[in-house]
Chain A
Amino acid sequence: MTLGWSIYIIIGTIGSLGAMLWLLFANRTTSGEGKTTGHDFDGIEEYDNPLPMWWVGLFVATIVFALLYLVYYPGLGSFAGLSGWTSQSEWQNDVDAKEARFAPLYAKLGAYTESELHQSSQAKQIGRRLFLNHCSTCHGITARGAFGFPNLTDSEWQWGADFAAIKTTLLGGRNAMMTPWGAALGGDTGITDMAQYVRSLSNATYDADAAARAAPQFQMFCIACHGADGKGNVLFGAPDLTNDIWLYGGESERIEFTLRHGRMGVMPAFADILGEEKIHILAAYITGLSQ
């Protein structure tokens, strides 16, 4: 807030209060009991009676309250108030209080091994709640995934299936990069041929001639990440192409789209959001899902 706005607000606030007090003070006298103010509408006259004392008292009390409030709380422009209260600090206090309350529990569970966590129903409950709050937006409430977001209950793990690998994924996030291959494969024919070859790896129905044409190209380009047998590589997050699990769809058109335009898979890092202890519990919950 600039100084000008601050002054504007201070003058407006204090000025309004002053005007209220003046209004009250200016109306302290009346022309006398039973006399009218002279206003007359349709035979209805307005009496000029004094204000009831209790009403005046309440009015003054509200003004006193307002002044005390403006001293204690922020309200007068950029003046922060004697209490130093902000909505952000109130929220932070609430968060700190809750974190202090649950810190011993997380510290205890954070020291458990993976198998101990699997046996603890408390850890499972906490893991499920963490999952529903933080992971279900993409992976679904049942963790069975969605288009472009992997199913966590099946056997395929792009970045490794063991507890340590999943914890690493959660802490640091992952970026999977499938580059567009249209130019390298020689345009549309090359792409449709390659799609048939990829389908042949996973026992889907495919055009054998087209697949045969693409086989040498697979060994030239795709082998670097997906391996000679197409079983993928957890180091690059390259998926196994030999099973029937497809992150972006296994139909010919879907595979062609993937080859033509590439895919970018992003798993965000949760280290700063959840912290190491919660991720430890969550990783065990996730390894438990696929068992």
Chain B
Amino acid sequence: MNADAPRIIAREASVAAADTEAAGFAPVDLYSRREKIFTRSIQGRFQRIRLFSGWPLLLGYLVVPWLAWGDRQAVLFDLPARQFHIFGLTFWPQDFVLLGALLIIAAFALFTFTSVVGRIWCGYTCPQTVWTAIYMWIEQFTEGPRHARIRLDSAPLNLEKVRKRGLKHAMWLGWALLTGYTFVGYFSPIRDLATAAIDIDASAWPALWITFFTLATYINAGWLREQVCIYMCPYARFQSAMFDVDTLIVSYDPNRGEPRGSRKRGASTETFGDCIDCQLCVQVCPTGIDIRDGLQYECIGCAHCIDACDDVMKKMDYAPGLISYTTERKLSGGVSRLLRPNVLGYGAVLTAMCAVFVVALIGRSLLGIDVLRERGELYHVVGNEVRNDYALKLINKTQQTLRLSLDVRSAHPVSMLATPDPIIEAGEVQSVPVSLTIDKRALTAATFDVDFEVCADGIGCDSEVSRFFGPGQ
């Protein structure tokens, strides 16, 4: 039928294929070999969308760590100092509940979008897809189009093959290094990273991490590619739980296409459906499936096959959309609804979580107080005075030096011994010892709550409750 037929992936057949391998050393692999996929590059509507959505994200990733905010890096996740700077905001481990909310938002966004538009994340924005696309572009640039790559792959090792392959791997590694360097730059100041990485006397960690992420990128996008989506990615598998018959999927319309068959341009379609069996939809698929076999878990919804098929339909003077974004209900002649109970449910949780996140972000305290009781003595009595000691751990999460005022509230007449207003620099944690006293004769309980409050003008307050202990009645 056509020369590339053996290249079509038929995973069921791979066990049989292993049997035909050369005798001699013929181990039964406990897993099947990966079939090489040579994707044909394609232009079209959805590829333009991918380009316009992908490039800004990619540029953002590469540029953001180089931005400066005042005299520090604008976005820096400083793990040793446990401070996470995002432009004007600095987050502390105490703010991790916000990260939790953010992850819940991300999860429900994923649920909502998946149940409405299917695997749009996989097809357009997942780094694995974007980086694989870049690597395929490099492959095309160095080794030529699909048929040239297939020829080169089966050709014996010669100078040309070494040159082309060498250039490809060098470019892959170069892009991987850029990726790894940028990624580490989010965690370690990127402007000093180059010197830190090559300085023999300095710590080996920057160089080690850059190497790790470089190799991980190279192996993921260069060698593993669709295997990550098919075998490794948990999301790829569990999102089928969010699919229903109204979910947008990339699908071939068998009612219109079958029976398939090749024919001359302008030929009558009485004996055939619209599918001319040109195999283009298979050749462009980055995961190597045949979309005409129906919905498959390997499909990442990238729409390469839609663009390829629409192009062919146009040439054949047929209507486009033999392969299209559609739903199972539409394919069986129904009308899909957007608003369904699961979408409304996911959407409601998503909206609620977004609201909670915004409120928590705006209302988060920029001061922190932690009260530690004196460990040596539970209480101290001098004459009629009962004293308790506390260490207040005060945190200044703002980016300016603050003069803080301390106060204590209680249902009992305690008073704080004079403590000068603590002055705390930006991003500093200071331990301030304070003493509370109460007249023994006013002591009506053996133990009671005391509420410490720390305030700064124009910033707000934070408080924590501790206990006061006395000798009892």
Pair B387/A132 contact, Cβ less than 8 Å: no
Please measure, in the bound complex, the distance between the C-alpha atom of A200 and the C-alpha atom of B376, giving whole angstroms.
32
Q: Of the candidates B27, B389, B391, which one forms a contact with A144 in the assembled complex, judged by CB atoms under 8 Å apart?
A: B389
Pair A142/B433 contact, Cβ less than 8 Å: yes
Closest beta carbon of chain A to B82's beta carbon, Å: 19
Does B30 reach chain A (CB closer than 8 Å)? Answer: yes
Pair B27/A141 contact, Cβ less than 8 Å: no
Does A244 reach chain B (CB closer than 8 Å)? Answer: yes
Which residues in A have their C-beta under 8 angstroms from that of B21? none
Dominant secondary structure at the A interface: loop
Please measure, in the bound complex, the distance between the C-alpha atom of A226 and the C-alpha atom of B431, giving whole angstroms.
39
Does B29 reach chain A (CB closer than 8 Å)? Answer: yes
Pair A53/B27 contact, Cβ less than 8 Å: yes
Does B28 reach chain A (CB closer than 8 Å)? Answer: yes
Known: A49-B30, A53-B27, A132-B391. A142 touches B376 (CB 8 A): no
- Most interface-central of A128, A132, A141, A145 (chain B CB within 10 A): A141
Does A85 reach chain B (CB closer than 8 Å)? Answer: no
Pair A52/B376 contact, Cβ less than 8 Å: no
Please measure, in the bound complex, the distance between the C-alpha atom of A136 and the C-alpha atom of B27, giving whole angstroms.
70
Does B71 reach chain A (CB closer than 8 Å)? Answer: no
For chain B, residues 382 to 402, give those with C-beta under 8 angstroms from any C-beta of chain A.
Answer: 383, 387, 389-391
Does A126 reach chain B (CB closer than 8 Å)? Answer: no
Pair B383/A141 contact, Cβ less than 8 Å: no
Q: Of the candidates B30, B31, B431, B434, which one forms a contact with A128 in the assembled complex, judged by CB atoms under 8 Å apart?
A: B431
Pair A140/B29 contact, Cβ less than 8 Å: no
Pair A144/B435 contact, Cβ less than 8 Å: yes
- Most interface-central of A50, A137, A142 (chain B CB within 10 A): A142
Which residues in A have their C-beta under 8 angstroms from that of B390? 141
Which residues in B have their C-beta under 8 angstroms from that of A24? none
Known: A50-B27, A50-B28, A53-B27. A144 touches B376 (CB 8 A): no
Closest beta carbon of chain A to B31's beta carbon, Å: 8
Which residues in B have their C-beta under 8 angstroms from that of A34? 28
Pair B383/A244 contact, Cβ less than 8 Å: yes
Q: What range describes how many residues of A lie at the interface?
A: 20 to 34
Name which residue of chain A comes closest to B383, CB basis. Answer: A244
Does B439 reach chain A (CB closer than 8 Å)? Answer: no
Q: Of the candidates A138, A143, A147, which one forms a contact with B433 in the assembled complex, judged by CB atoms under 8 Å apart?
A: A143
Which residues in A have their C-beta under 8 angstroms from that of B28? 33-34, 49-50
Which residues in B have their C-beta under 8 angstroms from that of A49? 28, 30
Please measure, in the bound complex, the distance between the C-alpha atom of A212 and the C-alpha atom of B176, giving whole angstroms.
94
Pair B30/A140 contact, Cβ less than 8 Å: no
For chain A, residues 103 to 155, give those with C-beta under 8 angstroms from any C-beta of chain B.
Answer: 121, 125, 128-129, 132, 136-138, 140-147
Pair B30/A141 contact, Cβ less than 8 Å: no
Please measure, in the bound complex, the distance between the C-alpha atom of A204 and the C-alpha atom of B386, giving whole angstroms.
19
Does B377 reach chain A (CB closer than 8 Å)? Answer: yes
Pair B376/A146 contact, Cβ less than 8 Å: yes
Which residues in B have their C-beta under 8 angstroms from that of A33? 28
Does B78 reach chain A (CB closer than 8 Å)? Answer: no
Please measure, in the bound complex, the distance between the C-alpha atom of A140 and the C-alpha atom of B28, giving whole angstroms.
72
Please measure, in the bound complex, the distance between the C-alpha atom of A147 and the C-alpha atom of B391, giving whole angstroms.
19
Name which residue of chain B comes closest to A136, CB basis. Answer: B376
For chain A, residues 48 to 89, give those with C-beta under 8 angstroms from any C-beta of chain B.
Answer: 49-50, 52-53
Pair A138/B389 contact, Cβ less than 8 Å: no
Known: A49-B28, A52-B29, A52-B30. A140 touches B374 (CB 8 A): yes
For chain B, residues 112 to 132, give those with C-beta under 8 angstroms from any C-beta of chain A.
Answer: none
Contact with B along A235-266 (1 / 0, CB 8 A): 00000000010000000000000000000000
Which residues in B have their C-beta under 8 angstroms from that of A52? 27, 29-31
Please measure, in the bound complex, the distance between the C-alpha atom of A142 and the C-alpha atom of B29, giving whole angstroms.
71
Name which residue of chain A comes closest to B392, CB basis. Answer: A141
Closest beta carbon of chain B to A142's beta carbon, Å: 4
Which residues in B have their C-beta under 8 angstroms from that of A125? 430
Name which residue of chain A comes closest to B26, CB basis. Answer: A33
Which residues in B have their C-beta under 8 angstroms from that of A129? 431
Does B237 reach chain A (CB closer than 8 Å)? Answer: no
Which residues in B have their C-beta under 8 angstroms from that of A140? 374, 376-377, 380, 389
Pair A132/B377 contact, Cβ less than 8 Å: no
Which residues in B have their C-beta under 8 angstroms from that of A138? 376
For chain B, residues 343 to 385, give those with C-beta under 8 angstroms from any C-beta of chain A.
Answer: 374-377, 380, 383
| 13 pairs of residues in contact across A and B, judged by CB atoms under 8 Å | A34-B28, A50-B27, A52-B27, A53-B27, A125-B430, A128-B431, A129-B431, A132-B431, A132-B433, A140-B380, A144-B387, A146-B376, A244-B383
Footprint of A on B, CB under 8 Å?
A: 27-31, 374-377, 380, 383, 387, 389-391, 417, 423, 430-431, 433-435
Known: A50-B28, A132-B433, A140-B380. 13 other contacts (CB 8 A): A50-B27, A52-B27, A138-B376, A140-B374, A140-B389, A141-B374, A141-B390, A141-B433, A142-B374, A142-B389, A142-B417, A142-B435, A145-B380
Footprint of B on A, CB under 8 Å?
A: 33-34, 49-50, 52-53, 121, 125, 128-129, 132, 136-138, 140-147, 244
Shortest Cβ-Cβ A-B pairs, 3 listed: A142-B433, A141-B433, A146-B377
